[in-house]
Structure 1
Amino acid sequence: MTISQRTIKIALATVISILIAQFFQLEYTVSAGIIAILSVLDTKKSSVTTAIQRVISTILALTIATILFQLFGFNTYIFGIYLFFYVPLAYRFNVQSGIAPCSVLVTHLLLEKSTSLTWVLNEFSLMLIGAGIAILFNLYMPSKATQIISLREQVEAKMREVLLSFDRSLQDGRGKNQFQLLDELDDLLEKARQVVYVEFDNQLLAQSTYDIRYFDMRKEQSTILRYMAINLNLCRLPTRENKILAGMFYLTADQLHEQNTGIYLMDDINALLQFFRESELPVTRAEFENRAILFQLLNDFTRFIQTKKDFYEAHADVLNAR
């Protein structure tokens, strides 16, 4: 939600809450507006959850305050005792979001020196109006679907860049792979994670975890790529095996897409593993070390492709519907 959207929602929700409270001839009507301000949050889920918590918190606060004021009278010391009981109970029942607004409502009872049903209902009504109007305004949340699609494409494009850099690194055998691309990829994944969780919290009824799982999968792949980058920097011999594995990275970069099943790539990797096993043994120490690193790279790359393959199999129904 942009600042302008939030500003409009807060302003309208505040004014309407006060007007409704005035229409029902409640006292301290401005408090309904203040509660609305506090209840306009970033997502539908957080708004509804907080509103429910504050209603429960109001019942708790008014009950404690009524008992204490009835037993010991209306004064500042009793208000302090009320807080002594109310605050820990609010945390205990996970309704602490209502501590501030509910305590303001209790001060109205203190100022009026009354806990009559009329005054208790007045305070409860202020909470219902403020929180309720805020929920109504928060039912409209712009969809982030377009932004999520864009982030998905950016993540995939950045992964292609990483794989192509791996290809170049293995081709020349200089071991100068840079981590800047991986850092940029992780930044994109973190941004995407924040966006998809906001979108998820704005889906009150039909919630889908697909986008969350997708970017979790890409994050897992990014971690594997980082391990591979470390090993790539140790490959300093431009051998035939280097070029073959580099070709696999190039092929994967060319095919990297949300819809790719990973099945054919896994077949290619298995064929490459068999080729490595049947190749002539290294002769020099440097060749032996290089072969060991290549074998580790291939094992890590197998995990990279298997991660995507597992994701596709788990979400085939969603992917096939697209």
Structure 2
Amino acid sequence: MKIGLRTIKTAAGAAIAILIAEQFHLSYAVSAGIITILSVQNTKKKSITLAGQRILSTALALGIATILFNILGFNPIAFGLYLLIFIPLAVEFSITDGIVVSSVLVTHLLIEKSTSLQWIFNSFGLMLIGLTIAILANLYMPSSEKKVHELQTNIESTMKLVLLDLSGTLRNGGLSQLQNSYLEKLTQELDEAVLLARNQYNNQLFGQSYYYIKYFDMRQMQAHVLRQIKEDLGQCQLPTLENEKLAGMLIQTAEKLHEDNPANELMQEIQNLFDHFRNSELPKTRAEFENRAMLFKMLNDFMHFIEIKQVFYQEFSPKKEKVI
């Protein structure tokens, strides 16, 4: 049985919150521990955002409950009416994460049959202690930078394999059985990397950068283009000079695939190949025409593949904003 870091922080935080609430002689001290349990999140930003929402929801809930209990009395009907008013307002103000916790605090007023300042302060005290301990517990988040770099390396390696396999299909004909497995692996690695990069970004309160989020987004867009090229390969089976040239360009791209490559040379090679298409002899048969048309489409797709990288490089690489 494996016990994760979040579980350890939650358990320790709940116990500490209860002890602190007891030291301040707050009633229902165990509620502070429950609030901590519900407030420990996966990222620092989410914990802080959640804390703000729950403080606002508590103020709103206690205000509504105080008015209704004083008018209708401390009974189930008043509590039900409180929920009818509070829940829609919480949705309207985007503080729904605080509905359950705030309502639990309202039940303390119902049980004690009092809305005195003592019980209002008691409720706010429980909420503040629980939230504070949760935020303090989340201040320690192990860095994922090493894993991010590892995934980056793996993604570039897998993308090279895809490019090389596509070039082999262009040269030799016949769809490779490895293409699907390579593309599936690439998709899985990219999904994991995007999630990890976003969590890492949300765990940094200062010195933040979107670099790795944008980097993996860029690779996801390129992966989509590669999937499209792979689909078109089935209609491009004639062994022509143009096939060979495009295959050679895919190999060249695989060899130079790296985050710091501005891809200007590759774009020039694509323009040269377009010129070759325009100046070469027209196809003589229907099969040659269809092959040439599909090659032209694939070349346009591949140009888009390179343009995606160029846009990313122009926006981020010169700045080298890689702090995460």
Same fold at TM > 0.5: yes
For 2:286 and 2:176, locate their aligned partners in 1 and report how far apart those are by CA, in whole Å: 21
- The 5-angstrom pairing of residues 22-101 of structure 1 reads 22-101=22-101
Q: Which residue of 1 aligns with 2:203?
A: 202
For 1:88 and 1:319, locate their aligned partners in 2 and report how far apart those are by CA, in whole Å: 46
Question: Partner amino acid for 1:224?
Answer: V
Cα 1:74–1:320 shift into 2, 3 Å:
closer
For 1:4 and 1:173, locate their aligned partners in 2 and report how far apart those are by CA, in whole Å: 50
For 2:259 and 2:207, locate their aligned partners in 1 and report how far apart those are by CA, in whole Å: 22
Instruction: Check whether the contact 2:211–2:321 (CA below 8 A) recurs between aligned residues.
Output: no
State the SS of the aligned residue for 1:312: helix
**1:56 CA displacement:** 0.6
Instruction: Check whether the contact 1:176–1:233 (CA below 8 A) recurs between aligned residues.
Output: no
> Gaps (5+ residues) in structure 1?
none
TM-score when scaled to structure 2? 0.95
For 2:307 and 2:282, locate their aligned partners in 1 and report how far apart those are by CA, in whole Å: 28
Instruction: Check whether the contact 1:57–1:90 (CA below 8 A) recurs between aligned residues.
Output: yes
Question: Partner amino acid for 2:38?
Answer: L
Tell me if 1:102 matches 2:102.
Answer: yes
- RMSD over aligned CA atoms reads 1.7
Instruction: Check whether the contact 2:209–2:322 (CA below 8 A) recurs between aligned residues.
Output: no
**1:171 CA displacement:** 0.9
Instruction: Check whether the contact 2:212–2:322 (CA below 8 A) recurs between aligned residues.
Output: no
TM-score when scaled to structure 1? 0.95
Question: Partner amino acid for 1:205?
Answer: F
**1:89 CA displacement:** 1.1
For 2:265 and 2:54, locate their aligned partners in 1 and report how far apart those are by CA, in whole Å: 54
Q: Which residue of 2 aligns with 1:145?
A: 145
For 2:317 and 2:75, locate their aligned partners in 1 and report how far apart those are by CA, in whole Å: 65
For 1:24 and 1:321, locate their aligned partners in 2 and report how far apart those are by CA, in whole Å: 45
For 2:134 and 2:84, locate their aligned partners in 1 and report how far apart those are by CA, in whole Å: 29
State the SS of the aligned residue for 2:4: helix
**1:318 CA displacement:** 3.4
Q: Which residue of 1 aligns with 2:275?
A: 274
State the SS of the aligned residue for 1:318: coil
Deviation per residue, 1:31-76 (Å, 9 max, x gap): 1111011101111111111111111111011111111111121112
For 1:152 and 1:198, locate their aligned partners in 2 and report how far apart those are by CA, in whole Å: 16
For 1:12 and 1:124, locate their aligned partners in 2 and report how far apart those are by CA, in whole Å: 22
Q: Which residue of 2 aligns with 1:239?
A: 240
Question: Partner amino acid for 2:102?
Answer: C
Instruction: Check whether the contact 1:174–1:237 (CA below 8 A) recurs between aligned residues.
Output: no
> Gaps (5+ residues) in structure 2?
none
**1:285 CA displacement:** 2.1
Question: Partner amino acid for 1:197?
Answer: R
Give the share of equivalent positions with the same residue, in percent.
51
State the SS of the aligned residue for 1:179: helix
For 1:6 and 1:97, locate their aligned partners in 2 and report how far apart those are by CA, in whole Å: 19
State the SS of the aligned residue for 1:88: helix
Cα 1:102–1:7 shift into 2, 3 Å:
same
Deviation per residue, 1:228-270 (Å, 9 max, x gap): 1111111111122211111111110000011111011111111
State the SS of the aligned residue for 1:204: coil
